[in-house]
Chains A and B, each alone.
Chain A
């Protein structure tokens, strides 16, 4: 089947029910997408499907065929997405493993709600676990990214 990953169309040989996560990691080489739980509990595998955040570990690859898939590698060409810039400024990451998913969830939130309240941030990010406990800086970086986007408009 054909998958459009970060603007490139790829032919992958995968059974329909293989989770998109493993097609991306093992067949397309986009390993920025992370495996954390396999049951949509931790958010490490978050990617955008037609711009919306989805948990790729429970999405059959067949359901993603013909749609635009964006992984952390395709969020911006050079790490310049406002969420990434804010993440760097606020020094959010620790081990970094969950951060692809955190950033993809945050970017999807801001695309939909440009100026989220604290409650909206918590609700949108509740599905992304970070065992290092970077949550406080995640909140701060989302607020920073939001104000950067406002300034750009």
Chain B
């Protein structure tokens, strides 16, 4: 770890605030009027272009378009003239709620909703004042329309006013448009990054080319925590194109003129490893040990009422154990990082979600001032949390190699490096015991969760881990709306430690808690002989938003009408990142007992919808991502080695298995939530519940497999 705690507190004390308690954090953060310099976020140029600078990274989630919409809404500019760029790493671009420049937690749009609109309104005001100066009239007598300041029949374009406007000081305060006047927000808008992404022109980190740049591949330890004892590079150096072989903390780097030479050179390396304790790791044994641990209470995450007494007096008991495996993010663009160390500067080209953290980490290794670490952000070929690394490992490694090699270097990961490289969604076990009354409603709930903590042992620990409980391990369970009405409940957590590096993976803790919670609630409904929708409605009597989402998804799925022959439906609703998503899956099982998901009906309450076309895409995509985990994905370890290596054995969803996903966006005045992650978690339980309805087999392990 390269960050000290002091640096973190200075630069990012707010990091956690909104991460796991978004609504409270948001209320505190967002009531303040943002104080911003509009010039850092938008540039109006004499050629009529309007360039929006993004404080966050575009990794597919669509903010290239959404944040531009926010500025354009207030600026009243001509939409086709909008250009978008990633901002550099700089204090001006700190996350409005977290205080550190980063992209994650499905926070970009809601956290920037006020700042980007304010910037647009300020820029508009400056253009109007510039026009007023030119015409020698009062600004109030002017209005704007589609990139022009208008006075009667006369008009001046924003481009004509750009230079004069830039010399003005930004207004101290601006009035934002009322919702009824919005022209863009809430309208389906096509993406602005499409033209370059359909012609091959879009630059990703892996595409960066610099004069004199070399490509490096790194041989890393075959087990987590292993170290190089010694190595022989003579055969590697004999490969044409290989120029240097250098040792770095994470392994041995082969530096070559191109990828293929570096790959052949790496294959030819002979390395002796000190494998360390990680060599004993076996995921099967680990799962068995987690199951044992789950029988004993851990650190208390939630305790209310007297669970023992309530359990003893319950009419009936149900017990179930759920487990989920390690998962890799498997972004389509393998990790890479290009570094040039020159003239006291460290220049980095990489697709990162964690500018603030990476900049500090790189400064330390490169031995330069923070402001001399320049981060250029190309498009990210997928993120899903993989590029927000707490230890900045792929950036740190790039700086080490460039330093050792003395030339600009692009470090590229192969798919095998990625699948075997750790930083996984950790394996988890949930054990739940419920005591129910004579109507089948839970009166006592005892729940033990076992799995690695993502944040313990990082500089963020003291901010996130309270009384031994990492909030990201229990989110979605401790705050489950189903449990609010359960008078006696206790949720405890074991956070075992092992050498596999854990990381947040699209929807983080919800990726396992939603599966456990929504499966167990379904089990209770069936045990009570009640309809799963009606049963949930009874438990969610005090939760109108959840009920509305459930009912909307159910009605669009045809809940209550017979499904086509050989199919059944299952449902789930989950609240995460400030957004409620209900999903109904319609499934069948083929002759080979393979589960097929045909249709998924989703209903989403994310508060104000900014770009419905983008929201639909994120929900469809999150369902696909969640289905990979529900039906296919699992990483296993034997003798410390990850057994899978590429897409042939770490399988992900392909087009023939993509269901028809319909998305209803519910009108809502609720506080705006996120959209990149929330639809991921409910799909696994929705499918498992549908499989139960069809087969009466309750599948409690992911990926779901019928026997």
Contact = CB atoms under 8 A, between A and B. Distances in A.
A41 B647 contact: yes
Interface string A63-77: 000000001110100
B658 A133 contact: yes
Nearest to A61: B260
Interface in A69-113: 71-73, 75, 79, 84, 87-89, 91-100, 103
A133 B646 CA distance: 18
Interface stretch (B150-158, B327-335, B575-583): B327-335
Contact of A137 (B201, B202, B206, B617): B617
Contacts of A130: 332, 624, 655
Interface string A115-133: 0000001110111111111
A66 B61 CA distance: 41
A100 B200 contact: yes
Contacts of A100: 200
A143 B622 CA distance: 23
A97 B61 contact: no
A136 interface: yes
B658 A73 contact: no
B193 interface: yes
Nearest to A23: B260
Contacts of A22: 258-260
A135 B658 contact: yes
Interface stretch (B14-22, B379-387, B430-438, B488-496): B379-387
A73 B199 contact: yes
A98 B258 contact: no
B134 interface: no
Nearest to B619: A133
Contact of B332 (A25, A36, A135, A139): A36
A1 to B, nearest CB: 15
Nearest to B256: A26
A39 B646 contact: yes
A86 B215 CA distance: 36
B560 interface: no
A122 B654 CA distance: 9
Contact of B61 (A35, A94, A121): A94
Nearest to B652: A129
Given A27-B258, A39-B646, A42-B332, A96 B240 contact: no
Contacts of A18: 260
A91 B191 contact: yes
A37 interface: yes
B142 interface: no
B661 A32 contact: no
Interface in B275-301: none
B59 interface: yes
Contacts of A94: 60-62, 617, 621
Interface in B557-571: none
B198 A87 contact: yes
Nearest to B330: A131
A36 B215 contact: no
A92 B412 CA distance: 27
B330 A91 contact: no
B215 to A, nearest CB: 7
Interface string B398-419: 0000000000000010111000
B320 interface: no
B47 interface: no
A44 interface: yes
B268 interface: no
A49 B194 CA distance: 25
Contact of B658 (A72, A95, A136): A136
B215 A131 contact: no
Given A36-B332, A41-B647, 4 more contacts: A36-B333, A72-B200, A93-B60, A97-B333
21 contacts: A22-B258, A26-B259, A33-B200, A36-B332, A36-B334, A38-B415, A38-B646, A75-B199, A79-B195, A91-B190, A93-B191, A93-B194, A94-B61, A94-B621, A96-B204, A121-B655, A129-B332, A131-B382, A134-B621, A135-B655, A136-B658
Which 8 residue pairs of A and B lie closest in terms of their CB atoms, listed nearest first?
A32-B200, A133-B624, A97-B381, A95-B60, A96-B197, A94-B60, A72-B200, A133-B621
